[in-house]
Structure 1
Amino acid sequence: MEGPSDDQVTLGPQDSYLNSSTASADTTSSSSQHVAKLQKLLYRRMLIGVNDGRYFLGLFQCIDKQGNIILQDSVEYRSARHSSSLPMEQRCLGLILIPAACRSSCHVDCFIEEQMSLMSLGT
């Protein structure tokens, strides 16, 4: 798996899936810019929070058109109990898929300049 291709990446629910045979030149250009930005995230450390309070830290492998994310060499972090005084439990998981519907937060390990340029992905 080399990474995401044009037909594997959708940035959000407001973005439509672009088929190169039916897309106009403007939307294809815009789509390829988003794909280029996402390709810069490949193999970066990513911390993803899910709705039940767990966090997953791993290397960003790919994203599909529905927004599901695959992390490589991932570690799950969860609170041992609902008390904040206890440390987080962790376990190694390896390769995992995190559904878009379960995701509550997503952070990428990168420099502040890169974070500012990536903020435009949501628009």
Structure 2
Amino acid sequence: MAPKEVVLSFWAAMETNDFYLASKLLTIDCVVQWPQSHETIFGRENFAKINSQYPASGKWTFVLNSIVAERNQVVTDVNVSDGKLFERAITFHTVEDGLISKQVEFWPESFPAPEWRRQWVQVMGE
């Protein structure tokens, strides 16, 4: 599979909420970094365990907003929700030999638009 297809398959597997299935698209010794919390997950087994144990209010959903691929680098913008929590993940994937060997994942926190900018912007959803 091309790197883009590997990453699309990964998100499809994540959508099943079987994180051990999804982890099969990662190398055994993959590295997953979460820069905002300064954490690094080493290995697909730890990836599956942490995602399986992550507190959730319901089934996780993953909606792909965009994907950009160049050679073995793939970037995705995904909405993630458990029905109560609505977040967005920007993930940089490195694909080698048909598996994801590295992810650097950013979880930007949303915040209300400052009032002082109102005259120049339209707030999404209004």
Q: Write 1 or 2 for the structure with the bigger share of strand.
A: 2
Taking structure 1 as the reference length, what is the TM-score of the superposition? 0.30
